Structure 1
Amino acid sequence: MAIFVEVLTKIDIGRTLSLPDSRLQASPQSQRSHGDGGEKLQVKDDVGILWNFHCTIRSGVVPKLDMVTGWIQFVRFKQLNTGDVIVLNKDDDTLTGLHYKIEVFKGDADDYSSFVHKNGI
């Protein structure tokens, strides 16, 4: 189930990615652990690499998680650019339990449109 879709901006690519905290509230403790003034979010990519993003909590009218540590490494590894799309999914597998997955759509509007249509986003 897709819980977050973002068309990447210059700030997303160069510095940090912000997620609405409410989208991750129900996440399991093993995937999202508190400590060091922030959160650790573990996410698997499309080839099975586990990424550990350290997030800080930004307060405000709508609290957000800012992915700080690990995000730029992900951006570089995936060679992301402005206009690419990421989709964060929450997947409840009967064998492995609840976990997060991240998908990347690199400037291919047809692939992303197909994903949106299939998942009703």
Structure 2
Amino acid sequence: MATLFSKFVNEIDMTRSLSIPTSPMGLKHFEENQLMDMHVQDDCGQLWMFSCSIQKNGDAGCALCVDWLEFVRHKDVRIGDEVIFIEDIVKDEAMGARIKIQVKRKIRLFGQDIWAPVK
């Protein structure tokens, strides 16, 4: 398993869409405004389908904009949580390839900061 992408969730990710630079996801050959679906599986085994589009991101190039707000509400994702996309592709004939998604939250336990999975 290898991490494709991770980031700390910010306010825009929570209210509009998750923005991911296209280069870490291997999406350089897609065109602006192109639509696609991303099939992911969370830590609980639940399948999610995120609608995505490629959008111009100023001088930084293009970004993959992921419509994940239902996931955010269901998982109680918060600003500062870390979202991680993992290249552990599961083959599913009905859905095609999926990517694993994890969300971690920093909690203080016995005086130590630890990153715990958000279930």
The answer to whether TM tops 0.5 is yes
Q: CA RMSD in A?
A: 2.2
- 2:115 maps to 111
The one-letter code sitting in structure 1 at the alignment partner of 2:61 is V
CA deviation vs aligned residue, 1:8-27 (integer Å, no higher than 9, x gap): 1111111110112122227x
The one-letter code sitting in structure 2 at the alignment partner of 1:50 is L
The one-letter code sitting in structure 1 at the alignment partner of 2:8 is V
Distance 1:53 1:110, change over 3 A: same
Supply the distance in 2 between the matched residues of 1:80 and 1:107 (Cα, whole angstroms). Answer: 12
Supply the distance in 2 between the matched residues of 1:12 and 1:52 (Cα, whole angstroms). Answer: 17
Deviation at 1:67, TM superposition (A): 0.7
Percent sequence identity is: 29
Structure 2 residue ranges without an equivalent (≥5): 28-32, 108-112
Relative to total residues, which structure has the larger strand share, 1 or 2? Answer: 2
The one-letter code sitting in structure 2 at the alignment partner of 1:107 is K
Residue correspondence of structure 1 range 1-121 to structure 2 within 5 A: 1-25=2-26, 37-60=34-57, 61-68=60-67, 71-92=68-89, 96=91, 99-108=98-107, 109-111=113-115
The structure number with the bigger radius of gyration is 2
In 1, are the aligned partners of 2:81 and 2:106 still within 8 Å (CA)? yes
Deviation at 1:111, TM superposition (A): 2.4
Relative to total residues, which structure has the larger helix share, 1 or 2? Answer: 1
Supply the distance in 2 between the matched residues of 1:13 and 1:99 (Cα, whole angstroms). Answer: 22
CA deviation vs aligned residue, 1:63-115 (integer Å, no higher than 9, x gap): 111012xx11000000011111111111146xx38631000112334126xxx
The count of aligned residue pairs is 99
Q: TM-score, normalised by structure 1?
A: 0.71
Supply the distance in 2 between the matched residues of 1:37 and 1:8 (Cα, whole angstroms). Answer: 24
